[in-house]
């Protein structure tokens, strides 16, 4: 591999937004680390699609809530691809619980969501900082308008994305000037998460000026822009939701 080729690590890259980001970086000529937690079949499909675009790629199974697994994954970026230029924290989880059903929000639900959506990005950033600093790289966190509006699939999910929004700003301050840190906050995205929840999407879209939900490619556009498209944005939460939250 060329020593000058940039490298992107995308967590949760098996499907949806993560897959779209992995492919978009490959089109830009970056080597790609395809991370997944459980969806190995889909992750291998992403890997094959990236490789068909003619760039180096590796597959890496790691649950981002497992710090040791995260550190091993980041070490592979250096050992197998030479370093790291872009980290996309896309891996996430949720539980669909009506916001009025407070008794359904158990301690296990809180711990499950926050382990992946908050602690996971923290651990991945912490492990990746030495590599990113070497190349003056960038980080993009995939959050959600749920973290701005307090709506979404459940109260803990909205709280976790609000925490990630705040953490984006904290890291932007602490890692500057060598590393830029931004976030993309989508509204509803047509992925397998929302399969069978058409009524929820329709209610959201009805109030959005652009009258449609996002495709994964819409979010990948914003992620790649923040990662590669310019150099003077940091600490920003870029909302991509058809205008619903303006």
Question: What is the reported pTM?
Answer: 0.93
Q: Does residue 245 sit within a domain?
A: no
- Is 36 an active-site residue? no
Count up the domains in the chain and report the number. Answer: 1
CATH code of the domain covering residue 47: 3.40.50.720
Helix then strand count (H, E) for the chain reads 9, 7
Q: Does residue 244 sit within a domain?
A: no
**CA neighbor of 7 nearest in space, from 31, 34, 28:** 31
Q: Does residue 53 sit within a domain?
A: yes
pLDDT at 4: 78
Q: What angle do CA 175, 127, 216 make, to 5 degrees?
A: 85
Give me the sheet containing 86-89, strands edge to edge.
Answer: 57-61, 31-36, 7-10, 86-89, 138-142, 180-186, 237-240
What are 168's two structure tokens?
Answer: 């984006």
Q: Does residue 1 sit within a domain?
A: no
Strand positions, DSSP E, 37-169? 57-61, 86-89, 138-142
Owning domain of residue 171: 7-239
pLDDT in tens, 116-126: 999 999 999 99
**CA neighbor of 144 nearest in space, from 184, 182, 92, 175:** 184
pLDDT by residue for the chain (246 residues), tens only, comes to: 455 799 999 999 999 999 999 999 999 999 999 999 999 999 999 999 999 999 999 999 999 999 999 999 999 999 999 999 999 999 999 999 999 999 999 999 999 999 999 999 999 999 999 999 999 999 999 999 999 999 888 999 999 999 999 999 999 999 999 999 999 999 878 666 666 667 777 777 777 788 787 789 999 999 999 999 989 999 999 999 888 887
Angstrom distance (rounded) from CA 206 to CA 187:
13
What are 195's two structure tokens?
Answer: 């399969």
Q: Does residue 33 sit within a domain?
A: yes
Q: Does residue 105 sit within a domain?
A: yes
pLDDT at 11: 98
Angstrom distance (rounded) from CA 177 to CA 206:
41
Q: Which of 154, 157, 159, 185 does the annotation list as catalytic? A: 157
Q: Does residue 42 sit within a domain?
A: yes
Angstrom distance (rounded) from CA 176 to CA 196:
42
**CA neighbor of 137 nearest in space, from 108, 175, 167:** 175
pLDDT at 192: 66
Q: Does residue 188 sit within a domain?
A: yes
Instruction: Give the SS3 label for residue 2.
Output: coil
pLDDT in tens, 69-94: 999 999 999 999 999 999 999 999 99
């Amino acid at each position: 591999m060329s020593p000058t080729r940039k490298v992107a690590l995308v967590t949760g890259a098996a499907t949806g937004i993560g897959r779209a980001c992995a492919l978009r970086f490959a089109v830009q000529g970056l080597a790609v680390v395809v991370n997944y937690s459980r969806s190995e079949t889909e992750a291998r499909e992403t890997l094959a699609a990236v490789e068909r675009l003619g760039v180096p790629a590796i597959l890496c199974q790691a649950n981002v809530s497992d710090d040791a697994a995260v550190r091993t994954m980041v070490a592979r970026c250096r050992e197998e691809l030479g370093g790291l230029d872009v980290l996309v924290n896309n891996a996430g989880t949720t539980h669909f619980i009506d916001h009025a059903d407070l008794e359904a929000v158990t301690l296990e639900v809180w711990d499950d969501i926050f382990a992946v959506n908050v602690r996971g990005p923290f651990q991945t950033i912490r492990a990746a900082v030495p590599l990113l600093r070497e190349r003056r790289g960038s980080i993009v966190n995939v959050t959600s308008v749920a973290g701005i509006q307090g709506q979404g699939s459940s109260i803990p999910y909205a709280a976790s994305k609000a925490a990630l929004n705040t953490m984006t700003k904290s890291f932007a301050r602490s890692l500057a000037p060598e590393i830029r840190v931004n976030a993309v906050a989508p509204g509803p995205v047509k992925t397998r998460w929302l399969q069978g929840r058409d009524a929820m999407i329709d209610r959201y879209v009805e109030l959005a000026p652009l009258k449609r939900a996002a495709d994964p490619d819409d979010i990948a556009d914003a992620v790649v822009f923040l990662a590669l498209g310019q150099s003077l944005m940091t600490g920003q939460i870029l909302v991509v939701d058809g205008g619903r939250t303006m």
